[in-house]
Chain A
Amino acid sequence: MTIAPDKPKRLPRGVIPVVLIALALALLTLGVREGEGGPIHNLRRAAMTVTVPMQQLGSFLAVPLKTLNEAGDNAVVASETLTELRTNNEELTALVGRLEEARLENERLKALLGLVDAYKLESATARILSHSSDSWNQIITIDKGSGDGISTGMTVMSPNGLLGQVETVGQFSATVRLITDPSSGVAVFLQASRAECILSGSSERLLYLSYLPIDSPVEPGDVVITSGAGGVYPKGIVIGEVVSATHGVADVYQTVVVKPVSRVESYEEVVVLTGRNAAVATPDLSSLALSSSAKSDSSSSSGAASGSGNAASGSGTTSGSGASRASESGN
């Protein structure tokens, strides 16, 4: 009787796929549950640092493609004329909104004796490296990171209006979640009626006003501005204008579509407001002869009244966009 030599045991073929699926599920659970400083977030930050040169390369290679696209868009008229007119139109729309906001605000603030704009807003200009690498997230990557003083939650603007909020920060780059992302939410008010509501992004890249009651007056063309409530975004930044407002018979709230003044595709650089946490002189409100309404106005924005439409308010920052929405909506 002979004894066969032991053959090395091999795993059954079905084991490895099952193990991999279980591992993926475990990672998914861990990723959803862990906080901002967790290992997966750190890993993503490291990956972001590594991929910056690649994104720069992509941005460089895309220049001819972008030029080609723009040429195609402008084929019917002289390209220089059309580009200039578009830029002028965006700037003027934003300017009218800002001026109107400043006028109304000025009237209210006349009552505040001696109140001065004590907020010195600092900002940093950053270059857009790349757009989202998938269709689900509307984010951009900028070439400024923690080394340049960028931190999570900072507001990102174009020259004309609000673009989004810094979500993840690496050493040399940061990702910005745009306000048009479905998981973004901004506390806003309508310039004409002062009605406050929440502005949300959507998968079709439109902006919607949520929780605006049916009896609130709203007209197409009304300018939408950040309210500063919740302390995430500064007060007074122009976002866009109302395109349409409809509601059904049984609806409690209106469905309002807003057209943003800033389309990220139009820009190569953005402005990051870095001065929100900077040490600024807090005005001694008690020494001023303020009316009670003025006091409540200033306290509603976390102790920071707005100046000429570009003042900072609040100091709270949130990390994720979901948190942003929750924070802005007061939930």
Chain B
Amino acid sequence: MSPTTTRAVRTLIIGLTALLAQIIIAPNIRVANIVPDLVLVTVIIQAIRLPLVPATVFGFASGLLFDLISSGPFGLMALILTILALAISSLNKGTFTEHWVVEMLLVILATLFGELLYGVGQALVNPDLDFTGSLLHIVLPTTLYDAVLGLVFLLCAHLLGRRTNNGGGRFSDGPPPRAGGRLSGAGGRPFSRKIKQPGKGGKLHGRPLNRKLH
């Protein structure tokens, strides 16, 4: 399979898993009637890893499926997740998310932004809604819950990426990952890491991966 196909299949599986988790798990792990938004969190984490267009498509599709199973205004979450994925993936092209602390901040801010936008959308569609009350009793607690889960997901994505992406970084075709230190998706083996040479009795030799082997 080509890398693009692999990426598409992996993204599809992640998206469907998130949706199933939203239906099956999320209502049962609510705390004080606050239900975590697992789809939102997944889109944010994936948008950090994916290039712009796939991230946007993933955000739109996930949001649409979320709208289908929820009772909120149809299309609202699709709109918000598309915008959110677009924004995060655009930031991803630069050097903003090179450090794991920045990535964590990005997850927290994106969660807050997503929940806030959803609240504004709800208030626009339903004029009877008390926006201030919703902000205090729904938006902020949900953001807190989502942010905690987002950081856990980010860590999982990092660990999973390190196991599956040897030498590979995030999916973006941006700058290559730096050696060490990155938390997101890339994980992986730094470019300067030594590789084991055959016939050398397991001794590590200093030939970087990005050099041509003679």
Contact = CB atoms under 8 A, between A and B. Distances in A.
Interface of A: 13, 16-17, 20-21, 23-32, 40, 43-44, 47-48, 51, 54-55, 57-58, 61-62, 65-66, 130-139, 167-168, 175, 177, 182-183, 202-205, 322, 325
A199 to B, nearest CB: 14
Given A137-B70, A325-B128, A28 B76 contact: yes
B48 interface: no
Contacts of A58: 23-25, 27-28
Nearest to B23: A54
B69 A24 contact: no
A136 B30 CA distance: 12
Question: At the interface, is chain B mostly helix, strand, loop or mixed?
Answer: helix
Given A51-B69, A55-B23, A21 B83 contact: yes
Interface in B1-34: 20, 22-30, 33-34
Given A20-B57, A24-B79, A133-B26, 20 more contacts: A17-B52, A17-B86, A25-B79, A26-B75, A27-B64, A27-B74, A28-B78, A54-B23, A62-B28, A132-B27, A134-B37, A134-B70, A134-B72, A135-B34, A137-B71, A138-B33, A168-B71, A183-B126, A183-B129, A203-B137
B71 A135 contact: no
B192 interface: no
B134 interface: yes
5 contacts: A26-B75, A131-B27, A182-B128, A182-B129, A203-B133
B156 interface: no
A62 B64 CA distance: 26
Contact of B33 (A31, A32, A135): A135
Contacts of B53: 13, 16-17
B60 to A, nearest CB: 4
Contacts of B122: 136
B146 to A, nearest CB: 10
A116 B27 CA distance: 45
